[in-house]
Amino acid sequence: MTSPFCVHRATGLIASVLIFLASCGGGGDGPAIKAQVQTIRFAASPALRLSGSAMVAATSSSGLVVSYSSLTPAICSINAATGQVSAFAAGTCILAADQDGNDTYAPAVQATQNLVVLVDPAQTIQFGTMPILSLYGTANVLATASSGLPVTYSSTTPQICTVDSSTGVVTSIAPGDCTIAASQAGDGNYHAAAQVTQTIPVSANGSNATLPSAPTNVAATLGMTPNTVSIGFVGPTSSGGSPIKGYTVTSIPSGITASASASPISVTCPSSCAGYTFSVLAINSVGDGTASTAVDVLTNYQVTATFLEPMTQPKNSIFIGSFTFNSSARTVTSLRGILSESMTGDQIAYPNDTMRWLPLNSQLSSVFDPALGGLLVTTFLLPSTNTLSPNPTFGGTDGWSPGTGFGLYYGFPDANPGNAYTRIFVNTTNPTTPLSQTQLDKLAYADCAPGGMMGGTCMTGTSVAGYGTLGSMSGFPLKQVISRQ
C-alpha cells in the first residue's frame, strides 16, 4: 500500500517515476510492514548536579538500541548514543528515548525521564591574578563565584580608586593602596557569598609623564540604531602617569572618527558601516597614545526559518538558531541551531510540540549571491555535506545542493549516513531586513535522519522558484525572521 506521506514531484523523467515507485511502495524499496510492538523503559533516575554529568539508561523490549535526546536543551544536553547527560542550568532536565524499529518491530512510543538538576546552595568568590594599576590608569579585576552567577564590584578606598560595579574596570585617582571588594547576593538557588577583597598598589609616577598605552580588549558591535557601531574596551590602559582625558575612535578605511570620555563609544557611519574596522587610542596631557589593533565589527543574531509541510503534522518544519555576523568582512560564522522533524510529532504545533529536534552545528557552506545581496549559509547535522544522492541518474550533483537527488539519501540504495541541513539567507547590509520573495525562495532544508525518512526519500523543503521543485512532501519555505541577540 502506498504511504500516505508520499507525493509525486513531476520532473518529466522516467527515472523520477521509477524512484517514486521505489520509495512509495510501487517498486518494493519501502520498508516492510512493522507489526510487532516494542516499548521503552528508563532505569532509575541518577542524581544530576549543576555543571555536572550523569548516565541514564533506557532499554527497549525488542532489544534494539535506543537513541537519546534532550527536550530541554537550555538546561541539559545528552549524548544520543551513550546516555551521558550534562547539566548547565538549574531546573528540570527532560530526556527522551526513541527506537525507530526495523523490519520486525514498529517504532516505539517515545519514553521520557525527568531529572531535577541539584544545586548546592553555598557559593564562594575568588579573585584572579592581581593586575598592575598605574596612577590615573585603568585595569581589570576579575572575580568569579563558584555558582557561576555574576559578581558585583565596589571600591572600599574611593579616595584612591573607583570601579565599575559590573565590569570590574578599576580607575586610579591617587597613589596608595586600592582595595576592591567582590560580592554575590545569591538567588533562588544559592545563598549570598561572603565578600572578598583584592588590594592593588598604585605608585606615583612623579613628573615624568609619558603617552598612554593602547586600550586593550577592544570589541565592536553594530549599534541598536541604523548605521552606527558601538566600540567598547574593558581592558587595562596605562595612563603614562597623567590622567586620561578621553578616547578617540578611528576607522579603517579612514573617514569615520568619534571621541568620548569613556567606553563604550558610539560611531555613526556615513551610510552603511559594512566594510569598516575600528581602533581606539587614549589621550592624556602629553598627547595621543598608541592606537589599539583594529577590530572587526561582530554582532550576534538569532534566526528562525519556517517551512510549510502541508502533508504532515503539525504542518511545518522549523529551524531555530543563531550566528555571528562580521560586518567588516561581510561574513557569517557559527550558524548553529535545531531543526524539528515534523513527522515525529502529533498535531500540537510549536512551541508545545512533541517533535524530535536535530542539532545542526556544522556550518559547512556560505556563498555570497550578488543578485540577492547577501549570503546563503548552510549548517549540517554531521560534519560532512553528504546528504542527498549525488547520482546523476537521480538528478544528483554534489551530494547536498537543494532540489537535487530526487530527495533520495546520500549513497542510495546503500546505507544512509543520516545527514540533515538548513539553509538561511543573511542580508549583508542589515541582517534584520525582511526577506523579499526572491530571497525567501532560496531557503531550503533536507532531513535524511531516521525521523525524516520515507523509505529511501528524505524530507526536504524547497520552492519551485528557488530550485525548480517543491520539497519531497510539497514542503517549501514560508518565512524567516532574524533578530539581535
Mean pLDDT, residues 136-155: 93
Mean pLDDT, residues 416-445: 97
Is the whole model's pTM more than 0.85, yes or no? no
DSSP E strands, 169-264: 169-172, 176-183, 196-202, 218-222, 228-233, 246-252, 257-260
Structure confidence by residue, pLDDT tens digits, 360-387 = 999 999 999 999 999 999 999 999 999 9
More confident residue, 3 or 362: 362
Instruction: Name the grid cell of 301.
Output: 543574531
* 31-118 belongs to CATH 3.40.47.10: no
Does residue 236 surpass a pLDDT of 80?
no
Mean pLDDT, residues 202-220: 82
Does residue 32 surpass a pLDDT of 90?
no
State how far the Cα of 138 lies from the Cα of 240, in Å rounded to an integer.
11
Does residue 29 surpass a pLDDT of 50?
no
User: For the ranges 161-165, 351-355, 414-418, which has the lowest average pLDDT?
Assistant: 351-355
State how far the Cα of 126 lies from the Cα of 144, in Å rounded to an integer.
6
Does residue 422 surpass a pLDDT of 50?
yes
Q: Is 15 helix (H, G, I), strand (E, B) or coil?
A: helix
What does DSSP say about strands 444-447 and 457-461: parallel, antiparallel, or unpaired? antiparallel
Mean pLDDT, residues 93-108: 92
Structure confidence by residue, pLDDT tens digits, 383-416 = 999 999 999 999 999 999 999 999 999 999 999 9
Q: What is the DSSP string of 362-421?
A: EEEEEEEETTTTEEEEEEESSSS---B---GGGT--SS--TT-GGGBBTTTTS-----EE
Class of 125-202 in CATH? mainly beta
The pLDDT-based confidence of 15 (bands split at 50, 70, 90) is very low
Does residue 320 surpass a pLDDT of 50?
yes
Q: Are 153 and 181 in contact (CB under 8 A)?
A: yes
Contacts of 436 (CB under 8 A, 6+ apart): none
> How much of the chain exceeds pLDDT 90, in percent?
72
Amino acid making up residue 325 = F
Q: Look at residue 136 in the predicted model and tell me its pLDDT.
A: 87
Contacts of 218 (CB under 8 A, 6+ apart): 231, 232, 233, 235, 278, 279, 280, 292, 293, 295
Structure confidence by residue, pLDDT tens digits, 242-256 = 888 999 999 999 999
Q: Residue 98 class from Cβ within 10 Å (0-12 exposed, 13-18 middle, 19+ buried)?
A: buried
User: For the ranges 18-22, 277-281, 426-430, 481-485, which has the lowest average pLDDT?
Assistant: 18-22
State how far the Cα of 425 lies from the Cα of 438, in Å rounded to an integer.
11
Alpha helical stretches, state H, 39-166: none
Residue whose grid cell is 561572603: 194
Strand order in 152-155's β-sheet? 152-155, 176-183, 196-202
Q: What is the DSSP string of 112-146?
A: EEEEEEE------EEE-SPPP--TT-EEE--EEET
Does residue 12 surpass a pLDDT of 70?
no
Q: Look at residue 352 in the predicted model and tell me its pLDDT.
A: 87
Mean pLDDT, residues 346-373: 93
Residue whose grid cell is 514498529: 106
Q: Average pLDDT of the chain?
A: 90
Q: Is 72 helix (H, G, I), strand (E, B) or coil?
A: coil
